[in-house]
Amino acid sequence: MKGRVERAPFGAMPDGTSVERIVLRGDQGFEAAIIAYGASVQSLKVPDRAGHSDDIVLGHDGFDGYLARRQYFGATVGRFANRIAGARFAIDGTQVTLDANNGPNALHGGLEGFDRKLWRIESVVEQGEPAVVLTHVSADGECGYPGRLDVRVIYRLTGPMELSMTYEATTDRPTVVNMTNHTFFNLSGATSGQSILDHRLMVPADHFLAVDATAIPLPGPPASVEGTPFDFRQSTAIGARIRDNHEQVRLGRGYDHNYCLPAGDGVRLAARLEAPQTGRVLELLTDQPGLQFYSGNFLDGSTSGRGGRLYRQSDALCLEPHAWPDAPNRPDFPSARLDPGQVYRRTIVYRFTTAAS
């Protein structure tokens, strides 16, 4: 696969430190731009069925927008993506207290999570599969989490229209780790003015985690999707049932729930998303146990993004593969624990194709 890499300044931190932007270019107009701030996907250009490439992710044209307001656009999220109840958990009998930054809960790593850090660009690969490797050192006690955590994120073009992300981490003390990418997608184009409610979604999950009013999973086993608005086992328009009078839809103001993916080894299909108007198709593959589907419910028009557009509800959606929320407090959930000597390694793949009209 032919490809090339472009590396240039994108802005500066308040202390004057330069923030770089790395563009990974593939074939057929496919292009992924990564910024070192938050190790974030700043832009993702994908061709439609007519061969026209458009940016399909929310974000900002300049760096100031990322500093002005925290909205996780394209960001690497950690140490623990999603929520931890009461901003606390116990590990080996020791109580850990975290930043409470989402009501009583800890969300997406706390007040200064990985999305708020300037990552170091370790290397850039131009030959073969274009790639960039970013690193960050999270100090022991950062946002309350125990242990020094050494983290790497590798963005790589692994196909003509395929972006892969590999997350790696090691620790010097027992801790918890749960990383993901928080890209907001609109396969009709980020400045198209089209809603994502006509996008068709398939998630091969029989169960999801019902939540309380603070978005923490309820006690007990996962809930069946059967007969609910949460059943996406067959490709279904996102808007088809988003206004159904269902308690969980009301609590989330739409979809904002973790799907319990089928157990399996290695990277496997976790979601398929299609925009009928443009024909763009996203297949999301991962080795993570859960997938958070968020339908952009809290985009409220208060943020001006790419092209000067105001981002509003249903302008985009997120598909975030990660561990199940509140896993550190739920021994019945897949574990998010990491011990010294172990390597945390998780993968997310965005594979794009086009469908005929």
Q: Output the pLDDT for position 300.
A: 92
Sign of the four-CA dihedral 169, 134, 27, 65? positive
Residue 320 falls in the annotated catalytic set: yes
Q: Are 186 and 315 in contact (CB under 8 A)?
A: yes
Question: Tokens in use for 209?
Answer: 């985690």
pLDDT of 1 reads 41
- Full-model pTM: 0.97
Query: Do the beta carbons of residue 299 and residue 254 sit within 8 Å?
Result: no
Q: Which of the residues in the chain have pLDDT under 70?
A: 1-3
What are the tokens at 259?
């799907």
- Domains, the chain, in order of start with CATH, read 4-354 (2.70.98.10)
Q: Counting Cβ atoms within 10 Å, is residue 94 exposed (0-12), middle (13-18) or buried (19+)?
A: exposed
Residue whose token pair is 């007519």: 50
Q: How far apart are CA 117 and CA 139, in angstroms?
A: 12
The Cα angle at residue 125 between residues 122 and 129, in degrees rounded to 5: 135
pLDDT digits (tens, 9 = 90+) for 199-225: 999 999 999 999 999 999 999 999 999
Please give the mean pLDDT across all residues of the chain: 96
Please, are residues 56 and 189 in contact by the beta-carbon 8 Å criterion? yes
Which position among 31, 162, 168, 320 bears the catalytic label?
Answer: 320
Render the burial of 20-54: b for 16+ CB within 10 Å, e for the rest.
bbbbbbbeeebbbbbbbbbbbbbbbbbbbbeeeeb
pLDDT of residue 3: 54
Set 182, 199, 257, 322: catalytic member: 182
pLDDT reported for residue 127: 86
For residue 230, how far is the Cα from the chain centroid? 19
165, 230, 257, 272, 346 from 204: Cα distances, Å = 21, 11, 14, 9, 19
Catalytic-residue membership of 182:
yes
- 164 Cβ contact list (under 8 Å, min separation 6): 154, 155, 156, 157, 158, 347, 348, 349, 350
